[in-house]
Chains A and B, each alone.
Chain A
C-alpha cells in the first residue's frame, strides 16, 4: 500500500518536473490565454490556476440555496472579464479553443459540463459596456445599495 502511495507521489513530482521543463524550454505548445478585460484578477494567478474549481463549487451552493449574491468568485464574473470579443466578432463559445476556459481545459484534458447550462459568453449588454461589469470586481465582494440600483437599471435598459 505504502509503496503505491510512494509511486504515485513520485509520478506526480515527475509530471511536475516534465511540465516545468516544458514551460522553460517551450517544447510543448502552451495554451494561449486570451486577454481579460479587467486589470487584475480577484486572486493571484497561481491561486486561480489551482483553486478556481474550489471557489466556484463553494459559491455555487451559497448562491443557489442561500441566495447570497455579489460574491467575489462567481462564474458570471469570470466570463464577463475573461471572455471578450475577438477582432470585432462575437466572443468565442466554449466549443471554440479560443475560449478562455477551453484554451486551458483542452491543454490539460479536463472536461467540464458547466457550459451545458451556464452562459459561456458575457451577456451582450456586458460586452458593449465592458467596464460596467467590473464595478464591484476588485472590491470587497459586496455591493452597495447604489451599485445594486445601478446594476438593476442597466439590466432593465438592455432588456
Chain B
C-alpha cells in the first residue's frame, strides 16, 4: 500500500507507457472503461477522484446539520467526555481580526493526494484508495496515533473505550483511529455523502460532491469557474476537499 501512495510520478509514467503500448499493439482500438466502473461491485478506480467543494458563503453560522448527519450515519455518540469523543467533522467559525470578515465552515479529513497520515503509518493501515478516498484499515491499525499527529487538519480521532451496537456499514472499535470516510459505503453504492445530503436538505447546498477528474461534473465546472482554496495549500498535499469564499 505504501508505495502506491508515494509513487504518483512513477505511476503516471507507467500509465503513459502502458497506454502507448496498448495503442501500438492494437491501432484503432480505443480502451475506455468509463467512469461507471468506479462504482458498484467493480471497486474503486483511479479514473475517478472524489472531492468536495464547500461554499463557505452558503454555510450558515450555527447550523450543524452536516455534523449531526455524519454522527447519525456512522453511529457516533458522545461518551460525555467531549475532549476524547470521536469527531469526523466539526464546524469552525473563523474571523479575520483585521477586516472583521467572519465565516463558518465544516472541517474534516481533506482526503489529500499526498496524505501525511499515510506517510507516517508504520503498518500500512492508513491508506488511500484508488479513487482518492483516504481511509484507515482497522484490521491493521495498531492505535499508535502517529497519523493523528501528522494530520495538519486534526481530522482523526482515536477510540478510547469499548463500543457496542455499531452500524453494519460503519465498523468502529476501541484501539483504532478513525476519520471521515467520505461516506465510502454510500459512494460505492452511487449515493452522496451524508453531510452533503443534510446540507442540501437544510436548504443551504453549501457542499458540492463529485468527481474531480470529470470535466463535466458540477464540482469540476464550479472549480474551473469560481476556483477553490486548499486549506494550508503551502503543504502541497493537493486535498480532495476545497473551499470557496475563504479570504
Residues of A within 8 A of B (CB): 60, 62, 64-71, 76, 79-80, 93, 116-119, 121-123, 126, 141-143, 145, 148-149, 151-152, 155, 159
Residues of A within 8 A of B185 (CB): 69
Nearest CB in chain B to that of A159: its residue: B72
Contact of B41 among A117, A126, A143 (CB under 8 A): A143
Residues of A within 8 A of B191 (CB): 152
Contact of B173 among A93, A117, A121, A155 (CB under 8 A): A117
- Please name 15 pairs of A and B residues whose Cβ atoms are closer than 8 Å in the assembled complex, sorted by A: A62-B43, A65-B127, A67-B44, A80-B168, A116-B162, A116-B173, A117-B171, A118-B168, A119-B166, A119-B168, A122-B168, A143-B40, A148-B189, A152-B186, A152-B189
Check A119–B167 contact: CB distance below 8 A.
yes
Residues of B within 8 A of A152 (CB): 186, 189-191
Nearest CB in chain B to that of A144: its residue: B40
Check B162–A68 contact: CB distance below 8 A.
no
Check A119–B41 contact: CB distance below 8 A.
no
Roughly how many angstroms separate A118 CA and B131 CA in the complex, as a whole number?
A: 24
Check A67–B188 contact: CB distance below 8 A.
yes
Roughly how many angstroms separate A87 CA and B162 CA in the complex, as a whole number?
A: 28
Check A69–B176 contact: CB distance below 8 A.
no
A148 smallest CB distance to B (angstroms):
6
B71 smallest CB distance to A (angstroms):
12
Residues of A within 8 A of B213 (CB): none
Residues of A within 8 A of B41 (CB): 68-71, 141-143
Say yes or no: is B120 at the interface (Cβ < 8 Å to chain A). Answer: no
Given the interface pairs A65-B129, A68-B41, A69-B41, the reply to whether A118 lies near B166 with Cβ below 8 Å is: yes
Residues of A within 8 A of B127 (CB): 65
- Seed contacts A66-B43, A67-B43, A117-B138; 7 additional CB < 8 Å A-B pairs: A64-B137, A69-B41, A79-B168, A117-B171, A118-B171, A123-B167, A143-B40
Nearest CB in chain A to that of B175: its residue: A116
Residues of B within 8 A of A118 (CB): 166, 168, 171
Q: How large is the interface on B (under 10, 10 to 19, 20 to 34, 35 or more residues)?
A: 35 or more
Roughly how many angstroms separate A116 CA and B167 CA in the complex, as a whole number?
A: 12
The 6 A-B pairs with the shortest beta carbon distances in the complex, nearest first, are: A117-B173, A67-B44, A68-B43, A117-B171, A66-B43, A116-B173
Check B1–A119 contact: CB distance below 8 A.
no
Check B174–A116 contact: CB distance below 8 A.
yes
Residues of A within 8 A of B96 (CB): none
Residues of A within 8 A of B42 (CB): 68
Residues of A within 8 A of B163 (CB): 116-117
Nearest CB in chain B to that of A79: its residue: B168
Say yes or no: is B184 at the interface (Cβ < 8 Å to chain A). Answer: yes
Residues of B within 8 A of A155 (CB): 189
Check B166–A117 contact: CB distance below 8 A.
yes
B69 smallest CB distance to A (angstroms):
9
Residues of B within 8 A of A143 (CB): 40-41
B32 smallest CB distance to A (angstroms):
19
The residues in B between 91 and 115 inclusive whose CB is less than 8 angstroms from any CB of A are none
Residues of B within 8 A of A66 (CB): 43-44, 129-130
Residues of B within 8 A of A119 (CB): 165-168, 171
Nearest CB in chain B to that of A71: its residue: B41
Residues of B within 8 A of A116 (CB): 162-163, 173-174
Q: Give the one of A119, A143, A159 with max B CB within 10 A.
A: A119
Roughly how many angstroms separate A71 CA and B43 CA in the complex, as a whole number?
A: 11
